[in-house]
Structure 1
Amino acid sequence: MPFAVYVLGLAVFAQGTSEFMLSGLLSGIAGDLHVSLGAAGLLTSAFAVGMVVGAPLTALAGRAWPRRRALLFFLGVFIAAHVVGALTSSYGVLLATRVAGALANAGFWAVALVTALALAGPHRRARATAVVVGGVTVACVVGVPAGAALGELWGWRSAFWAVALVSVPAAGALLVALPGGRPDGAPPPAGAMSELRALARPRLLLTLLVMALVQGATFCTFSYLEPLVTRVTGFGQGWVPMVLALFGVGSFAGVTLAGRLADARPGAVIGLGMSALAAGWAMLALTASYPAAALALVLLQGALAFGTGTTLITRVFQLAPDAPTLAGSFATAAFNVGAAAGPWLGGLALGAGLGFRAPVWVSALLMCAALAGGWVLSLSSGAVRVPGRLGAAE
């Protein structure tokens, strides 16, 4: 795998840490800036909205640039947003930096995915995607707990400084590892309307919907693991970081394994992965009161969720070969739509008084909807339909 692909994963690690680290910093931010916890929580929502809206907009804005220039520009804006966020004493400015950072993150993701695939070549596309997405899973395991620890030791601003500092060597490495300009013989990008028409294909849109449903199921349960394991499983509060880290370890293992399997059999990985996810969320809801079962399923579901999600990203690029950058942006948007909608739906279930297992049942239902979408895709592909197949014949 080219060195530059791993550099992209490092940059995504820093950006993934920024996206999720506020969960451990909200109290410090609220106290320092004299705002409510709810207002501090809006900083996370602003980042998610910025990712969803920004992915297609930034991809359209930077699609004509050479990839190295686009990546360095987006990463530079991301670093600057975190420096300003670390220095400001204004809640409004901090909120603006979260939106700006999200827009830059969305643009970087879209270009990074298509760059990694181009560097890896046609036979290692899934492995390249796994390296980039693996940056997010490492952020969940290492970056987010480290950010929370820094916040405890030196205040929430130190976590923002750390994200900026980790991003600087990634920018330097990208400057060295990626060639400038366009590759020799590369055609100029197609017109924006031509690329948008390519993304309007029904099978691609349905794949993006399936992807959003899978991510919604993942983050619905992940967001409410703390009350599940403390009030249903019976673990003490001290176990919560360990359980979250266990999910992250499973996620990293899942993207790594999927990267090795999905290049050969992407449809099987997606179809079997989604079926196992639906069954696994239902099993977790039923067995959450048994500690050994809960721990095993948290690890397994993390692996299945991110392994399946990574392969779905690769499938999006396969379905839109003539609009790679915009395809990457739409995949990024679908990921974040699920990441925002899942916790909202889980919160509605909790608010309705359905109990602490309710978000897990919502995850199972979302996966049933994803399976239905996958079945429609298999019907439309003209492939021989067997269990575990999704999409075109492999």
Structure 2
Amino acid sequence: MSLPLYLLAVAVFAMGTSEFMLAGLLPDIASDFDVTVATAGVLTSAFAIGMVVGAPLMAALARDWPGRSSLLAFIVTFAAAHAAGAVTSSFTVLLATRVVAALANAGFLAVALTAAATLVPLDKKGRALAVLLSGTTVATIAGVPSGSVLGTVFGWRAAFWAVAALCLPAALGVLKGIPGGRVKAEATGGPALRAELALLTKPRVLLVMLLGALVNAATFASFTFLAPVVTDTAGLDELWISVVLMLFGAGSFVGITIAGRLSDQRPGLVVAVSGPLLLVGWPALAVLADRPVALCTLVFVQGALSFALGSTLITQVLYEAAQAPTMAGSYATAALNTGAAVGPLVAATALGTEAGGLGPLWASGLLVGVALLIVLPLRTRVAINRSAGVSYDEALTVPDPTRDR
């Protein structure tokens, strides 16, 4: 793996810290602005919606920009949005800054994902994605708990200032390590934008995007509202929020590292093993959340399974959209953040049910169940094709009626 790829991961760490740290700050933000925790959770959904909309939009715009300059512009905008959010006294303005930050994050990640795929051999996209997204998992291990501690000790605004400051070394890393060439596809004989967008009509691309979105929705549904589970259901002190978030992050790092070794050659194996375990794990966490040891153990396990499965599915988006060299990263980003937008909304609705604060955990199980129900018809095709000498992973796809015409 090349040095520029790790420098991109540093920037992803800064942005991942911002995206995930709200899980530990929502109660304080809700109290500061005199809104409910469910309303404060809209900040997470707003960020994710901005990512979904911004990913293809920013990627399309960045086709004509020098790669290094575009990445730097996205980082600077991201930092400025956090500085503005740190000083505002209006929840509406804070919400707006989250959208702006999301657009910048989306642009950066879309360009970075595409760049990462070009920095490695064609059959190593899963490994490259694992390195890049390791910035996110490290953010959940170190950045997010640190943000939670800052929020607990100095207030949530200190965490926003810390993210803005964290963008500075990330910007320096991009400046020093990323080539300044243009990313425009047509300049090198690549496909036109219309041709790249046409891939969104392909069943294979849409399927893996949908599955990735559902799994990520399940992850964010519970992660966003994990803090109240720690303090209210498990009865632990507020500082334990950071510990639990760190355990989730450690699990996610383990999961994405293992999946990075398997997602290129054996994606079906990852789906077959982690999918059912993830489905069982979320309800188990809901039932055992009042037991601190079980809570901590299952949070680690669910973090590992969520990121192993999610990253594998997103890797498949890059493979299926390989004919869209400048837009594939935006499709992967859009899938990730469609889930991140939908998950907290579903979870907020679940808070109003009889399950109360445990509702998001049950909702996560439901979302994973939907994903597995979509995959289930493919298992029949897998069995048929295996008997014909086709590998498990080759069979774990949907026939594309437009292919080979």
- TM-score bucket of the superposed structures, by smaller chain: 0.7 to 0.9
Structure 1 length as normaliser, TM-score?
0.87
Letter in 2 for 1:103: L
The corresponding residue for 1:323 is 324
Matched, 1:126 2:131: no
Matched, 1:4 2:9: no
**% of aligned pairs identical?**
50
Kindly state the Cα deviation for residue 286 of structure 1 after the two structures are TM-superposed: 4.3
The corresponding residue for 1:221 is 222
The corresponding residue for 1:301 is 302
Tell me whether 159-168 or 39-48 shows the greater mean CA deviation: 39-48
Residue 322 to residue 377, structure 1, CA distance change in 2 (3 Å): farther
Residue 202 to residue 166, structure 1, CA distance change in 2 (3 Å): same
Letter in 2 for 1:54: G
Matched, 1:261 2:262: yes
From 11, 35, 57, give the equivalent of 1:37: 35
The corresponding residue for 2:181 is 181
Cα distance in 2, alignment partners of residues 309 and 30 from structure 1: 30
Cα contact 1:271–1:387 (8 A) shared by 2: no
Question: RMSD of the TM alignment (CA)?
Answer: 3.1
Residue 316 to residue 383, structure 1, CA distance change in 2 (3 Å): farther
Kindly state the Cα deviation for residue 112 of structure 1 after the two structures are TM-superposed: 0.8
Cα distance in 2, alignment partners of residues 374 and 273 from structure 1: 13
The corresponding residue for 1:210 is 211
The CA deviation string for residues 14-67 of structure 1, in whole angstroms up to 9 with x for no partner, is 1111223344455766787xx433576554443222112211211122123343
The corresponding residue for 1:239 is 240
Kindly state the Cα deviation for residue 2 of structure 1 after the two structures are TM-superposed: 0.7
Cα distance in 2, alignment partners of residues 208 and 377 from structure 1: 16
Q: How does 1:127-166 map to 2 (within 5 A)?
A: 127-166=127-166
Tell me whether 5-14 or 118-127 shows the greater mean CA deviation: 118-127
Cα distance in 1, alignment partners of residues 29 and 397 from structure 2: 49
Residue 292 to residue 82, structure 1, CA distance change in 2 (3 Å): closer
Residue 301 to residue 257, structure 1, CA distance change in 2 (3 Å): same
Cα distance in 1, alignment partners of residues 196 and 217 from structure 2: 27
The CA deviation string for residues 158-196 of structure 1, in whole angstroms up to 9 with x for no partner, is 333322222122222212212221489972442222111
Matched, 1:313 2:311: no
The CA deviation string for residues 195-250 of structure 1, in whole angstroms up to 9 with x for no partner, is 11112101211111111111112222223334445555554555333222211110
The corresponding residue for 1:274 is 275
Matched, 1:69 2:69: yes
Residue 352 to residue 376, structure 1, CA distance change in 2 (3 Å): same
Which 5+ residue runs of structure 1 have no aligned equivalent? none
Kindly state the Cα deviation for residue 143 of structure 1 after the two structures are TM-superposed: 1.4
The corresponding residue for 1:391 is 396
Letter in 2 for 1:158: A
Residue 357 to residue 147, structure 1, CA distance change in 2 (3 Å): closer
Letter in 2 for 1:239: W
Residue 371 to residue 37, structure 1, CA distance change in 2 (3 Å): same
Letter in 2 for 1:47: F
The corresponding residue for 2:403 is none
Cα distance in 1, alignment partners of residues 315 and 348 from structure 2: 31
Cα distance in 2, alignment partners of residues 171 and 248 from structure 1: 24
Residue 360 to residue 164, structure 1, CA distance change in 2 (3 Å): closer
Cα contact 1:269–1:388 (8 A) shared by 2: no
Cα contact 2:110–2:329 (8 A) shared by 1: yes
Cα contact 2:59–2:110 (8 A) shared by 1: yes
Count of residue pairs brought into register by the alignment: 391
Which 5+ residue runs of structure 2 have no aligned equivalent? 399-405
Kindly state the Cα deviation for residue 340 of structure 1 after the two structures are TM-superposed: 2.5
Cα contact 1:109–1:329 (8 A) shared by 2: yes
Cα distance in 2, alignment partners of residues 380 and 305 from structure 1: 25
Tell me whether 214-223 or 105-114 shows the greater mean CA deviation: 214-223
Kindly state the Cα deviation for residue 357 of structure 1 after the two structures are TM-superposed: 4.1
The corresponding residue for 1:338 is 339
Matched, 1:349 2:350: yes
Letter in 2 for 1:10: V
Cα distance in 1, alignment partners of residues 372 and 34 from structure 2: 40
Tell me whether 77-86 or 228-237 shows the greater mean CA deviation: 228-237
Cα distance in 2, alignment partners of residues 86 and 283 from structure 1: 37
The corresponding residue for 1:172 is 172
Tell me whether 242-251 or 84-93 shows the greater mean CA deviation: 84-93
Kindly state the Cα deviation for residue 350 of structure 1 after the two structures are TM-superposed: 3.0
Cα distance in 2, alignment partners of residues 158 and 285 from structure 1: 32
**SS at 2:188's partner residue?**
coil
Cα distance in 2, alignment partners of residues 283 and 151 from structure 1: 30
Cα distance in 2, alignment partners of residues 108 and 233 from structure 1: 38
Tell me whether 289-298 or 315-324 shows the greater mean CA deviation: 289-298
The corresponding residue for 2:402 is none
Kindly state the Cα deviation for residue 88 of structure 1 after the two structures are TM-superposed: 5.2
Tell me whether 113-122 or 100-109 shows the greater mean CA deviation: 113-122
Letter in 1 for 2:110: A
Letter in 1 for 2:324: A
Residue 378 to residue 176, structure 1, CA distance change in 2 (3 Å): farther
Cα contact 1:282–1:364 (8 A) shared by 2: yes
Kindly state the Cα deviation for residue 316 of structure 1 after the two structures are TM-superposed: 0.3
